[in-house]
Amino acid sequence: MNKVTGVEDGVLYDANYDSVLIEMRKTAKTVCYDYNHTRPGDDEARSALLASLLGQSSESIVIEPPFYCDYGKNIFVGKNFYANHNLVILDGATVTFGDNVFIAPGVGIHTAGHPIDAERRNKGLEFALPVTVGSNVWIGAAVTILPGVTIGDNTVIGAGSVVTRNIPANVVAVGNPCRVLRPITQQDGE
């Protein structure tokens, strides 16, 4: 069960009409608004806002505004994290990043999914599955990561990819849907 929202991974819950969840999202949106309107170079204010918003963050975290999330407290960030402009994390379930993660502009990480049938979907029901990104990962521009995905350590996700399933460690993966293109080899370091 998710400690922040009280929602169980993969179980339908009422995202649109649950007053507690709505209030939690309002709080996160307010902090995101304040963060997105800080002056360039006001690192102290940005660090304080991120520390109040995220479930875990380190001193070496940079997220270029604008940044948007649903709850914030479900996001756990390791050391030496950099995300370029327009990062969106819909964190109905936990989103965990290892150390040395670099994210290009326009990336969306989504833990929420919705029922296929219109009747349940129209009632505001959804489910959420955690997303895990390992250490030393580079995520290219305009990548979309869907619910329940794990990306292994040292992996590169190519720009524009839609990651619908787990990607192993030490590979370059690209496409829609994202697939392993090749392993990362010693030659890549030369």
Query: Which structural domain, as residue segments, surrounds residue 183?
Result: 13-189
Q: What per-residue confidence (pLDDT) applies to 88?
A: 98
pLDDT at 57: 85
| Domain-embedded: residue 2 | no
Report H helices in the chain: 19-36, 43-53, 118-122
Q: Is residue 137 part of a domain?
A: yes
Tell me the residue type at 2: N
Q: Mean pLDDT of residues grouped by 10 in the chain (190 residues)?
A: 75 89 96 97 94 89 97 96 98 97 98 93 92 98 98 98 98 98 90
CATH of residue 42: 2.160.10.10
Q: Kindly state whether residue 3 falls inside one of the protein's structural domains.
A: no
Cβ-based neighbours of 73, under 8 Å, separated by 6 or more: 4, 24, 28, 53, 54, 55, 91
- The per-residue pLDDT for 58 is 78
Report yes or no on 99 lying in a domain: yes
Cβ atoms of 76 and 96 closer than 8 Å: yes
Per the domain annotation, does 6 fall within a domain?
Answer: no
- Tell me, what's the pLDDT at 1? 61
Catalytic residue positions, numbered: 114
Split into its structural domains, the chain has a count of 1
pTM of the entire structure? 0.94
pLDDT score at 116:
93
